[in-house]
Amino acid sequence: MPRTLQHPARLVPLTFLLAAVLGTGLLMLPAARAGEGAAPFLTALFTAVSAVCVSGLATVDTPTYWSGFGQGVILALFQVGGLGIMSGATLLGLLVARRLRLSTRLVAQAETRCVELGDVAGVLRLVLLATVVIEFVTAAVLALRLRHAYGEPWAEAAWNGVFLAVSAFSNAGLSTYSDNVVRFAADPLVLGPIMAAVVLGGIGFPVLHDVRRNPRRAARWSLHTKVTLLGTGLLLFGGTAAVLAYEWGNPATLGPLGPADKLMGAAFHSAMTRSGGFNATDVGQMRPETLAVSCVLMMIGGGSAGTAGGIKVTTFLVLGFVVWAEIRGEPDVCAFGRRVSRDVQRQALAVVLLAVGFAAAGTLALLTVSDLALHDALFEAVSAFASVGLSTGVTAGLPPAGHAILVVLMFLGRVGTITVATGIALQSRQRPYRYPEERPIVG
């Protein structure tokens, strides 16, 4: 392989592209479709990219359009996509650290404590172990619930449980039920395990590893772990409160439910907007205010080096710390007794601006090729780019050009932020000179 293609900033998207191409070919086989004939190219491509990029958007009904073989291919794609993103992002982080000087590497290792720089095989084993354990437990709980509470045959309950568990931990949001999980809107024993798997997968492997090593000594957690857990908690609770406030009396969503079920529905939607993608209520019937809040939560996403999409919680909070330091006139940006380096601040700013630019361009492109309303186009573009998979119900009705736009957004959103951040870190360098300073007017 040419040395230029071996650069991680090119290798990661190339790997995802190859997986999407392979998945497209498999889904175009007649055996993958439940009906007569083979799936059209664009339908197979859209589904494969959505699965491998764990986005969750779909142009066809998964349980009725795809055969058991087709559903198995889809499950394999988002399992590989989720597992590959976790291990790939972690290994890219290791590669960045390896490129630093020895003294800086030792400081970084002492600070993070969650990844051993020299044990790549150990890192991959831990990623695999976390994936298998969480998915197995979630699948077992769901299968037992589906069997005993809903009377599904053991084989059907087991398959649905495994599919939902893997989809949840991978943050894919695809379901073996035509209504996604709307039929379980009042069942916390189904929504609860799904929500837990989504949150655990979206937090990110470095956080899980850090907490596992020091479960009762939060003071020894890395700055990354503390910021991720803080941001995750704030956004989950804040999103739940916002959904409750706006949808409490909406007769098409939470209105008919009791108080406890309303709380569960609001918490579930808040967690799913962080990249989970499942829906227990009709997103298309939500109030505009709820959709606006959902767009913000989708764009922020989950934790770094996990299965969630978006700009990541740490990126969002780092910029928040920058704003807070600027307001207070402090020379350094600090959090939890640690100073945030200027390189990290620049990377966060670059990731956010690129993400906003991609989402805005995608929204404009969708408006150009379709007759969508602005709020529908914006929601669809943000959901695709942030690898969420929620939709107001317009995905299937888009023209082929609209589906192609979503394919590009899903691919860019899934590999773009990691690649850009790593590329910036790898290319950082010290100049032997500095230009004269001048201060343009800001604000």
Q: Max CA-CA distance within the chain? A: 74
- Given this model, what pLDDT does residue 217 score? 85
Residue 18: count other Cβ atoms within 10 Å of its Cβ.
11
The residues that bridge with 334 in the sheet, in sequence order, are 339
Beta-bridged to residue 338, according to DSSP, are: 335
Domains of the chain, residue spans = 3-426
- Burial string for 243-280 (b: 16+ CB within 10 Å, else e) reads bbebbeebeebbeebeeebbbbbbbbbbbbbbbbbbbb
Rounded Cα–Cα distance for residues 228 and 189 (Å):
27
**Structure-token pair, residue 383:** 């959901």
User: How far is the C-alpha of 196 from the C-alpha of 203, rounded, in Å?
Assistant: 11
Q: What pLDDT does 109 receive?
A: 41
In this predicted structure, what is the pLDDT of residue 82? 82
Q: For residue 110, what pLDDT is reported?
A: 37
DSSP state of 338: E
How many CA atoms does the CB half-sphere of 379 hold within 13 Å?
A: 26
Cα dihedral sign for 126, 128, 131, 133? negative
Question: Packing angle between helix 205-213 and helix 120-150, nearest 10 degrees?
Answer: 100
Residues of the chain with pLDDT under 50: 4, 100-114, 117, 119
Confidence (pTM):
0.88
Cα 272 from Cα 269, distance rounded (Å): 5
Grouping H, G, I as helix, E, B as strand and the rest as coil, residue 438 is: coil
Q: Which pLDDT score is estimated for 437?
A: 82
DSSP assignment of 399-424, as one string? -HHHHHHHHHHHHHHHHHHHHHHHHH
Instruction: Report the amino acid identity of residue 22.
Output: L
SS3 content of the chain, % helix, strand, coil (to 5): 70, 0, 30
DSSP bridge pairs for 33: 66
Handedness of CA 29, 31, 34, 36 (dihedral sign): positive
One-letter identity of residue 69: F
Distance (Å, whole) CA 390 – CA 270: 12
Phi-psi region of 329 (alpha: psi -120 to 50; beta: other; left: phi over 0): left
Query: CB within 8 A of 296, min separation 6: which ones?
Result: none
- Are residues 149 and 189 in contact, defined by beta-carbon separation less than 8 angstroms? yes
What was the pLDDT predicted at 249?
Answer: 94
| Predicted local confidence at residue 99, as pLDDT | 53
Instruction: Map tokens 């590999």 to a residue.
Output: 415
Q: What's the number of CA atoms in the CB half-sphere (13 Å) around residue 87?
A: 20
Q: pLDDT of 390-402, one tens digit each?
A: 999 999 999 999 9
